[in-house]
Every structure is written in C-alpha cells, then in structure tokens.
Structure 1
Amino acid sequence: MTELNVHTLPQTIELYLKEQQWITPEDKVLTLEKPGEGNMNVVVRVQLEEGSLILKQSRPFVQKYPQIPAPIERVAIESQFYDLASDNDMLDTFLPGVIGYDDEHYIFALEDLGAGADYTFLYQKDESGALPEIEAAVKFLYALHQTRFSEKEMRSFPDNLALRKLNHEHLFVYPYLLDNGFDLDTVQEGLQAVAMAYKKDEALKKEIDQLGAIYLGSGSALLHGDYYPGSWLRVKNGFRVIDPEFTFFGPPEYDYGVMVAHFKMARLPETMVRTALEQYPSGSDFDAELARKITGMEILRRIIGLAQLPLELSLEERKALLAEAAQLVKS
C-alpha cells in the first residue's frame, strides 16, 4: 500500500495493519472514515470490530492545496514530537497515544480520541462557558515550554526547516505581496482595499521580516508550531491537542503569541483571556514584546493571507483587528 485514503479497501488496510503489528491477528477492519478536515496530511479513522485508530500519511504536497509542494518527512517529525512529549505525564494526558510509525510509507498510527470537533467553533459563537477548556489550552502550552530536554535530545531533534520555510512564506511574505493572486474581496467585500494599506506599509514589513528571521532560527523550548483552535480537539474526555507537525525547538513566545492572536480573533471576553493566561506565569526570560509582535503578525496573516479562518466579523471589525495587530507589530 503506497497511498492511504478513505476509499482504500478495508481488507487492504487490515492486512497492512497486521503486517505492521498495529492490530492483532484477530482484529477485523470494518470501515474507513474521514475524521475531520485535514490541511496538511491524509487522515483516516479505521473502525475495527472492537475499537478504532487514526492513520495519518504525508505526501510530497499539502493535502488541502495539492499545488503546493511540502516535505514528505513532516509526519516523521510529528512522531518524534510525541516521543519527546509523552515522557511528560501532564503533556501525555492531553495527547493521543502513539501506536507506531512506518517510515517507508510515511504513515503514522495514533490512538483515536473519539468523535469530537476542533475548537474553530470559538470564532463563530459565544463560548463564555469554555473557560476551563481555554485554561487547559494555556496550561498545556506552559507545561510544554517548561519541559526540559537533554542536549542530546535537542541536538537529535529535526530542525523541521523545510516545512518552516514553506510556512514562512504564508506567515511573513505572501500576505504582503501587492499582487499575490488572492482577491480578498472573495472573503469579504472591501477587504482587498483595506489590506493594501498594510501591504504598502514599509515600516510594518520591516518588522515582519525581522520576525520571520526569528521564526527560522532556533531556541530552547519544544514548540507545537501551529498552536491554534484548529489543533485543539473537544472530545468526550475533554480538551486534547493534535497536529504538531510544525514542531521545532524555538522561542516559546512564538506559540504563545499565536495562541493569544486566536483568542482575540475569536473575540473571547477579555476577563476570560486574562484568567486563562494566569496558567502561563511568564518569568524574566520571557520576551513579552516579542510575544505581542507575534500576536500581531498572526492576526495580520490570518485576515489578509491565504489561511483564512471561519471568522464571523464585519469589515469594520476586521479593520479594527488589523489596526491593533499592526500596532502590536510596530510597537
């Protein structure tokens, strides 16, 4: 089996799983399902007679945008994130268990956390009752960044630079091109004209370039790398974290700033956000200014870039967010 998809014959998957010794000889595969919308990889839920599991396979392109090449080894790097993080009992509580990784076919087998939904619903409705889950998201991130690893573990962990360079284009370059081929008026009428002010702001773009250089650098904390509501799952057992394929050792302010940006775009009550962020007590070595700049960058790229979110915002609300974001970046 070279390519995995929901149309693969269950018998083929069953044989493959038994060859990998990921299921027992007595297990039977009943059906294959699409558990959710995957952006980077093919993701399939394998329903067994008893239980289920998740298979992920990376291809040499982005699954959602096949015209965009992407490093095929990204799922291997994700598996190494789980290997490191699973040694921390607190982190392990919020992560799916690892079943195995096949480096020949770039297939990763994980525990199925069960039916649920990601947290992108936060952008669309009042979730003032979600404080415990938002606190859990912050608490997980703090525990991840505070986990210490040996020099050997840090040196042997991949820099994930190929995937970061691809991401760098969408974070720090593409949104600011005067003509990038993406008409923002298809997102919301009038947004293209609003965006032009930021595309032409040379002082802003200089700051963005500097942030991009930091992103392509390194640091001492293990990062998730894409820590936003699309990487969080609400399942029967509560809050969970998935999809750390953009992981690398870098500055903790990056994950933190991205997370706060999504709190702002989701219009979570400020009191809720302040309470939740108490779960991340920042020390003297935490660069609050850098975190604010990353927050601004993430808001800008999400509103005027390709990676759009299901935001229920008026044009005036988007304009206000963009103005705040630009100020955060340039301050």
Structure 2
Amino acid sequence: MFILDANDTASMESYLLEQGWLSNEERISQVSVPGEGNMNYVLRIVTRKRSFIVKQSRGYVEKYPHLSAPADRVLMEGAFYQTTNVDPFIARFTPDLIGIDQANNIIALEDLGMASDFLFLYNSSIKLDTAQLTRLTDFLGSLHNNFYRQATQESFKNSAMKSLNHEHIFRYPFMEENGFDLDLIQPGLQAVATDYKNDKELKNQIEGIGEIYLSEGSYLLHGDFYPGSWLDTAQGVKIIDPEFCFYGPREFDLGVMMAHLYLSRQQDQHIQLVLDTYHSNAKLDIQLLHQFTGIEILRRIIGIAQLPLSLPISQKQELLKFAKTLIL
C-alpha cells in the first residue's frame, strides 16, 4: 500500500504521475499540511501551475492513533462528492473531486485555497452572520431533499463508520468507567459528568435514539455537520469531510448543527432562524430533532470528542441540564 508522506516528495511525485493527477510536465514545488485534521492524513500539493489536496485514510484516527477507524473511509467521502456533484447548488459548496485511488484509500480534491474552519466560534466573540447561517441551512435542506431515496443504496450504508460514530456518540460518553479522565480536560468535569453517567432513565432514552441512528433512512446525510466541517473561504462557506455520510433521519444532521450553535453560544434568534429557513419536503420530527441536539451537546462535553470550549464549569452544567431536558 502506498503511504502518503510529506517528507518523501520524490515517491509522492511518482505516485501522482502514475495516478494521472500530475501531468508529465508538472513537478511538485511544495508540500504542506493545510490544517489540523482529525480523521485523515491530508496534504496540499503545490506545482508551478496549481495546487490541490490529497487525502488518505488509514486504519486509525489520525489525531488519535490509538483509536481504530475504518481504513477505507475516505472512499466514502469520494462517493459523496461523485453523487452530489450532479446538483449544481450542492456542488458550489463542496470541492471538486479530481480522482479516487481505491487500492490505497486516497482521494485528490480541488484546493479551496487559504481557508479556516469555524472552530473559532467556540472560543470567540465572533458569531455566524445571517448570510452564513442561511447558506449552511440551505445546504442541508437541499442535500436532504434532493438526495432522497426510498431504499438505501448499498454503497451508502457506511455501516463501519456508523458503528464507530454510534460508539462515540451514544455509548462511550455515558459509560460509568470508560478510562477517560475528564478532569484532565477541566478540573471538576468528571464529577459533573457522573450524574449523567448514572442516570438510567436518560441512558435508556439515549440507547433508543441510538437505535434510530443505526437504522436505515431515506435521506442522504453529511453525517458530521459541525463547525469543523465548515470552511470560510474567499468564495464563501464551503462544506468538507463527509466521510460519515449515510442515508438516515434528517433530524440527525440538523440536530448536530443545532447542538453546535448552542455550544458556540450563538444568538437565540440565529438558532431559531435555522428552524425557520430549513426547507423540507416532509414534516420534521421535532422531538427527535431535540433529542439528537441534546445528545450531541452531552457527548461533546463529557465524551472523548472534545471541542475547544472556553466555558467555566457552571456554563457547561447549564448546557448539560438543557441537553437532558431536550432528550427527556
């Protein structure tokens, strides 16, 4: 298996020529890391003519090598782009797909230029503006409505990634002993989390919602629609990293988005704007939407997938109580 390595330009150049992703007259002038990634190994390739992105998935989470993950997950991301680029509106939000190498779990993508994700929202007074929020909501609505299917395509079941996500959203954060000391994140957080880990009614409800997540649905979802998957570029808001995509309940994508608006302390009227502007061909299950929102808030505060939250314990307690109310 060919392994991408930023320090081995010669081997990478030969590989890219073999794939047809470099022309014969092109040579690599620079290789860099375009940002801090979580799941995959990502590089920016620069030649005298252009730049583009190459991305490889391996059998573990790139940021947390001790956590195993499906090695072929980047192929699902490629399939998402291949499927959705027939919709001009969706295609404007996502990078163009240059190529897929299934044997080595590598894809090549358009370089969206110097951009930043929206993780700064958790630790900043800067808020999403109405135009950005509307575009993000319009993307979700168009994705869900325009890629609706009565029966799930076999290629989009994405069972291994769903299982991984299910473990980290619906089970791991609520285990009484999971080996993750939350006091290393923030002193006192472990004691706060104990109340939720010991709440049988809450955990039973979460288990049931987890089964809904695992079941097959009719709507193509991004699967991880949070500020780390949103890019602020010179061309406007873009969406990346759909490797968790699957056909499921629309309320999951929308609930995750809503949860992160709460976690990043967005204005109440902006949160309401999402519900007001989300266009759907069928009525949303508002209770299920609230439950997915609450679970995402809980798992981001007491689970392993931590965010750069600069909140005192008291505010985290408020969010946790709010999340529990949404679920129950």
Q: What's the TM-score once normalised by structure 1's chain length?
A: 0.95
Give the Å deviation of 1:156: 3.8
Counterpart CA distance in 2 for 1:284 and 1:15 is 50
Question: What letter corresponds to residue 52 of structure 1 in structure 2?
Answer: S
Deviation at 1:213, TM superposition (A): 0.6
Over residues 168-206 of structure 1, what are the superposed CA-to-partner deviations in whole Å (9 max), with x where a residue is unaligned? 111011111111111111111111111000000000000
- Distance in 2 (CA, whole Å) between partners of 1:327 and 1:151 is 33
- Matched residues in 2 for 1:260 and 1:149: separation? 22
Does the 8 A contact of 1:135 with 1:277 survive in 2? Answer: no
Aligned to 1:57: 56
Q: Report deviation, 1:279.
A: 2.4
Q: Give the corresponding residue for 1:113.
A: 112
Secondary structure (helix, strand or coil) at the match of 1:234 reads strand
Query: Which runs of 5 or more residues in structure 1 are unaligned?
Result: none
2:32/2:45 contact within 8 Å kept: yes
Which residue pairs with 2:94 in the alignment? 95
- Number of the residue aligned with 2:214: 216
C-alpha displacement of 1:142: 0.7
Q: Give per-residue Cα distances to partners, 1:127-157, cap 9 Å, x unaligned.
A: 24622112211111111011135668x4243
Give the corresponding residue for 1:291.
289
The SS at the match of 2:63 is: coil
| Distance (whole Å) between structure 2 residues aligned to residue 284 and residue 150 of structure 1 | 13
Q: Deviations over 1:229-282 (max 9, x none)?
A: 000111111100000000000010000000000000000011122224432034
Evaluate the alpha carbon distance shift between residue 256 and residue 47 of structure 1 in structure 2; reply closer, same or farther with a 3 A threshold.
same
Distance in 2 (alpha carbons) for counterparts of 1:74 and 1:256: 22
Within 5 A, what are the aligned runs for 1:47-196? Answer: 47-128=46-127, 130-148=129-147, 154-196=152-194
Alignment check: 8 A CA contact 1:131 1:276 kept: no
**What's the counterpart of residue 27 of structure 1?**
26
Identity across the alignment (%): 44
Superposition deviation, residue 40 in structure 1: 1.0
Give the match's secondary structure for 2:323.
Answer: helix
Letter matched to residue 69 of structure 2: A
Q: 1:149 to 1:289 in 2, by over 3 A?
A: closer
| Residue deviations 1:284-328 (CA, integer Å, cap 9, x gap) | 531111010000000000000000000111111000000000111
Say whether 1:252 aligns with 2:250. Answer: yes
Give the secondary structure class of the aligned counterpart of 2:307: coil
Alpha-carbon separation, structure 2, partners of 1:187 and 1:76: 33
**Secondary structure in structure 2 of the residue aligned to 1:193:** helix
The number of equivalent residue pairs is: 328
SS state of the match for residue 109, structure 2? strand
Cα contact 2:295–2:323 (8 A) shared by 1: yes
The farther-off stretch of 221-230 and 74-83 is 74-83
Cα distance per residue 1:41-98 (max 9 Å; x no partner): 1001101111100001011111111112211111111111111111110000000000
**Aligned equivalents of 1:259, 1:173: Cα separation in 2:** 20
SS in 1 for 2:165: helix
What secondary structure is seen at the aligned counterpart in 2 of 1:157?
helix
Structure 1 Cα separation of the partners of residues 174 and 25 of structure 2: 56
Amino acid at match of 1:210: G
> Distance between the aligned counterparts of 2:107 and 2:68, measured in 1?
20
